Structure 1
């Protein structure tokens, strides 16, 4: 990250959404409080707006929960596939290394037998 990115990090979408919802609620409350209405109507309007905001937030929470669950399943599947691929690759590399070491051991044995034979002569 460069200095500019460190000084001004990008906010996540959830942070922006939270700010938007809070700002909308504060704006609606301010509009209701400054509107010329009797107390009973004002309380009724506030109660109605609060229940609407509560319903909307429950809907958003449900959607976010479903998307998070789907994302978690997707990540789990991808991780499992990656682990299988890595495991298969590691097995292939291990088998290749074993074969190579066996070949080298055989070559060393043959070379040492030749040296012994030459030394005896």
Structure 2
């Protein structure tokens, strides 16, 4: 399991835990209110107050999650841009190195072929002279 999968697993576990805690808290609050010995009006007022409190908490959590999501998205964007820039730079460097190496190889092959051509011409001249000597001996 790589780091990204571990982070996603932890985030998923955290989200599930938060949802469970919120739902459990709401159910517990409603059960406490329903089993408390209060008249109907007071019970309804308490339920309204608790519902308003739960709504406020939910909005607060949603705002926090939204802020965190924006921060994570910003960090991911920055990292992706940095990685893309690095890849582009390295690709450019590799292309330059390949071009320089190709130029060097071409120059080396040219030089070597020129040297070989000169060597062949010199040897050919030497062989021609030897053959001419053998064919035309001077007495």
Give TM-score, length-normalised by structure 2: 0.69
Match of 2:17 in 1: 27
Instruction: Give SS of 1:54's match.
Output: helix
- Whichever of the two has the greater Rg, that structure is 2
Cα displacement (A) at 1:107: 0.4
Question: 4+ residue runs of structure 1 moved beyond 6 angstroms?
Answer: none
User: 2:62, 2:79 → 1: CA distance?
Assistant: 26
The alignment's C-alpha RMSD in Å is: 1.9
User: 1:53, 1:103 → 2: CA distance?
Assistant: 74
Give TM-score, length-normalised by structure 1: 0.78
Unaligned runs of 5+ in 2: 31-49, 134-139
Match of 2:41 in 1: none
